[in-house]
Amino acid sequence: GEDVEQSLFLSVREGDSSVINCTYTDSSSTYLYWYKQEPGAGLQLLTYIFSNMDMKQDQRLTVLLNKKDKHLSLRIADTQTGDSAIYFCAESIAYNFNKFYFGSGTKLNVKP
C-alpha cells in the first residue's frame, strides 16, 4: 500500500526542539522526503533520506529512519517562529518511480 500518515498538529515554544513523525506502509520505498509549505505557497524540499540510511543531519534538521518500523521523523532544533508551516513527508516507490505519495501534513505552530 501507499499510505503515509502524519499527525495533524504540533505546537512548540520558540527555542525548543520539534519532532514531526511520519509512518509509511510500503517497504519498497527508496527515498523519503520532507517538504515545507508556508501559507498559500508551494512545497519546498527541506531534506531527504535514502532508505538504506538511518540518519541524516543538515544544520538544524535531523532525519531519523527506522526502516523496520517504517517510521520517519524530522527533528528541528532551536525552533523559530519562521519554522511555523505545514510539513509533509513523502515517499518515492521503487516499482512506480513516477508517483510520490504524500502524508496529510503536520501543521507546526511555534509560539514566541
Partner 1 sequence: DGGITQSPKYLFRKEGQNVTLSCEQNLNHDAMYWYRQDPGQGLRLIYYSQIVNDFQKGDIAEGYSVSREKKESFPLTVTSAQKNPTAFYLCASRMGQNTEAFFGQGTRLTVV
Candidates 10-18, 27-35, 55-63, 75-83; binding stretch for partner 1 (CB under 8 A): 27-35
**What spatial distance separates the first Cα and last Cα of the chain, rounded to whole Å?**
40
HSE-CB for 14 with a 13 A CA cutoff: 5
56: exposed, middle or buried (C-beta count within 10 Å: 0-12, 13-18, 19+)? middle
Q: Determine which residue in the list 13, 15, 45, 111 makes contact with partner 1, applying CB under 8 A.
A: 45
Cα–Cα dist 88/102, whole Å:
7
Note whether 52 binds partner 1 by CB under 8 A: no
Q: How far is the CB of 15 from partner 1 (least distance, A)?
A: 28
Size of the site for partner 1 (CB under 8 A): 24
Binds partner 1 (CB under 8 A): choice among 12, 48, 53, 62: 48
CB closer to partner 1, 49 vs 110: 49
Q: Does 27 help bind partner 1 (rule: CB under 8 A)? A: no
Residue 83: phi and psi, rounded to 5, are: -85, -10
